[in-house]
Amino acid sequence: MLHALRTMSPTIAIIGSIVTDIVVQTPRIPASGENMHAPRIQVMTGGKAANAAVAFRRLGGRAHLLGNTGADGFGQQARVDLEAEGVDISGVGADPDQPTGSGVLLVEPDGQTAFIIAPGANLTLKPQQLEANLRPLLPHLDGLLFNFESPEACLLLAADLARAHDVPIFVDAGPDRPYSPELWRDAAILTPNQPEAEAIVGYPITDDESAVAAAQDLLARGPQSVVLKLGARGALLASADTIQHIPAFPITAVDSAGAGDAFTAGLTLAVLQGRALPQAVRFANACGAVAASRFGTMPAMPRLAEVEELRAAATATA
């Protein structure tokens, strides 16, 4: 259960991936055997958990990141970037035997992306390592956020520890892996995107009716609330007393790669600040919109002033 609000600057632990992203702006996805010139290629730190930690920090919260990099140059740069953003990385290990996770992101002109990711050291996180870093934080945490880019055994342990300390759990159900439903049992919020929700419920989401059915199906599987991320169509909120579509903010999409991570961070922050769920989802939509309106992953994460500016502009033109 969500406990009483402690502060407008909540503290969370985030478990998940730290990745070096090679982001390629491309006119289209190349065909097999084709050589294509790209107008822009940029290397930057990313990963779902790292992105969310930076977004949470930029929006006004405090974030402890738990995971692994390799003991290599990419890992060192990730640490520099995260520390520069004020993220606590004392729980990030450096695996000497595996490289830092890396990925290639192809960004098309409409902002849609394709990913190829090598997890590397992200998958070498061990339960003992995680417990040693998470347990001392638990008395001070307002929430725990994780995604499915860490080993399942680590996440099951983390969820049990959080429940034992009455720390609310926020689950970003990506990428779509056959992980145990125990991970989102009584979670404060489960936030899958459309493909991830389809993987859990076992049927396609093709229209509003099937989206509502999927959200209700997910809710019946244990979380207190479900927020189904629908990209440019906004989000669908389902809880015990409401099911509500909350539209996205109209923007010109540049790169959607980190938008879901920004959304999840914004939603978690807003809920822990005590905002009602519909208002929290609207705030999260604005966070995702800011991220999608510019190129890149971690560098595109929103700042609070940018989010509030977008919300004010939308209100003024409504």
pLDDT interval class at 6 (50, 70, 90)? low
Q: Is 148 helix (H, G, I), strand (E, B) or coil?
A: coil
pLDDT at 316: 77
> Token pair for residue 287?
């966070």
Q: How far apart are the C-alpha atoms of 113 and 117, rounded to whole Å? A: 13
User: Which tens digit of pLDDT belongs to each residue from 121-174?
Assistant: 999 999 999 999 999 999 999 999 999 999 999 999 999 999 999 999 999 998
Q: What are the residues facing 22 on neighbouring strands?
A: 43, 104
Q: Classify residue 39 as exposed, middle or buried by CB count within 10 Å of its CB (0-12, 13-18, 19+).
A: exposed
User: Which tens digit of pLDDT belongs to each residue from 232-290?
Assistant: 899 999 999 999 999 999 999 999 999 999 999 999 999 999 999 999 999 999 999 99
Q: How far apart are the C-alpha atoms of 63 and 145, rounded to whole Å? A: 10
Domains in the chain, ordered, with CATH? 11-317 (3.40.1190.20)
Q: Classify residue 19 as exposed, middle or buried by CB count within 10 Å of its CB (0-12, 13-18, 19+).
A: buried
What is the side-by-side strand order in the sheet with 143-146? Answer: 88-95, 62-70, 11-15, 143-146, 169-171, 189-190, 225-229, 235-239, 242-246
- Strand ranges (E), the chain: 11-15, 19-25, 40-46, 62-70, 88-95, 101-107, 113-118, 143-146, 169-171, 189-190, 225-229, 235-239, 242-246
The chain-wide mean pLDDT, for the chain, equals 95
Q: What is the dihedral of CA 82, 264, 113, 23, to 10 degrees?
A: 0
CA dihedral sign of residues 87, 12, 21, 95: positive
Q: How far apart are the C-alpha atoms of 54 and 21, rounded to whole Å? A: 15
pLDDT tops 90 at residue 8: no
**Residue range 17-39: mean pLDDT, rounded:** 93
Pairing state of beta strands 19-25 and 40-46?
A: antiparallel
Say if residues 14 and 2 touch (Cβ distance below 8 Å): no
Q: Is 42 helix (H, G, I), strand (E, B) or coil?
A: strand
Q: How far apart are the C-alpha atoms of 268 and 276, rounded to whole Å? A: 12
Q: How far apart are the C-alpha atoms of 47 and 103, rounded to whole Å? A: 9
> Token pair for residue 138?
């638990």
Q: Classify residue 37 as exposed, middle or buried by CB count within 10 Å of its CB (0-12, 13-18, 19+).
A: exposed
Residue 315's contacts (CB-CB under 8 Å, 6 or more residues apart) are: none
pTM, 2 dp: 0.95
Helix (H) or strand (E) segment spanning residue 127: helix 127-134
Other beta carbons within 10 Å of 305: 10
pLDDT tops 80 at residue 5: no
